[in-house]
Amino acid sequence: MSASIDALEIIISKHSMSTKAPWYAALPAPRSSPPSLSREEFLGWMRQGKQAGKDYVLVDVRRNDYEGGTIRGSLNLPAQSLHPTIPTLYSLISNSSAESVIWYCGSSTGRGTRCAAWFADYLEEKKDTKIKSLILTGGIKGWAAAGEEFTSLMDGYDAAVWTQ
């Protein structure tokens, strides 16, 4: 019987290690559902002369998968450490002329969406209707796959990363 209990404890131990809670589990669930901004629309902004840091803030929330380049003008603020910095980020943005914060990750279906929602929640708490929190549709993968007119606007673009 002791061998069976030992085997069961090993199975339980292995199972609990493989079902580790996701990084965001200890953080508040987002309440907002921010709108999306298509890569084509954002490319239009860039071509119209809108500037990162002046007209918008572009945030790349990748951490371990931060490779292959980033969209020109992006700040890298990894999602895993973003939540406690939102008040400071808001203070900086609200004292600038930027009216939009655009968030993205690899695909913008996980971290980018979550971060955009957290920021939108904070905007709502502050009753700030001037700043918009937006999700870049398709994330960096969609941007890199959309062709040369998009990749030419990436810093550190490495085609080998995107063709694997």
Residue 15 vs residues 5, 109, 124: alpha-carbon distances, Å = 15, 27, 40
Q: Considering the chain, what percentage of its residues have pLDDT values greater than 90?
A: 76
pLDDT tens-digit readout, 8-48: 454 444 554 557 899 899 999 999 999 999 999 999 999 99
- Tell me the CB-side half-sphere exposure of residue 40, using CA atoms within 13 A: 0
68 vs 146: CA distance, rounded Å: 14
DSSP 15: H
Of 116, 146, 111, nearest in space to 131 by CA: 116
Of 85, 81, 72, 84, nearest in space to 42 by CA: 72
Residues 106-128: what's their mean pLDDT? 95
- Phi, psi at 118, each rounded to 5°: -60, -45
Q: Is the pLDDT of residue 162 over 70?
A: yes
Q: Where are the alpha helices (DSSP H) in the chain?
A: 2-18, 39-47, 79-82, 86-94, 111-125, 139-145, 148-151, 159-162
pLDDT at 82: 95
pLDDT tens-digit readout, 72-112: 999 999 999 999 999 999 999 999 999 999 999 999 889 99
pLDDT at 8: 44
Of 24, 27, 31, 36, nearest in space to 103 by CA: 36
At residue 78, what is the residue type? P
Q: Which two tokens stand for residue 79?
A: 């999602």
Q: Which two tokens stand for residue 108?
A: 């913008």
Q: Is the pLDDT of residue 127 over 70?
A: yes
Residues 60-64: what's their mean pLDDT? 91
Question: What is the pTM assigned to this prediction?
Answer: 0.86
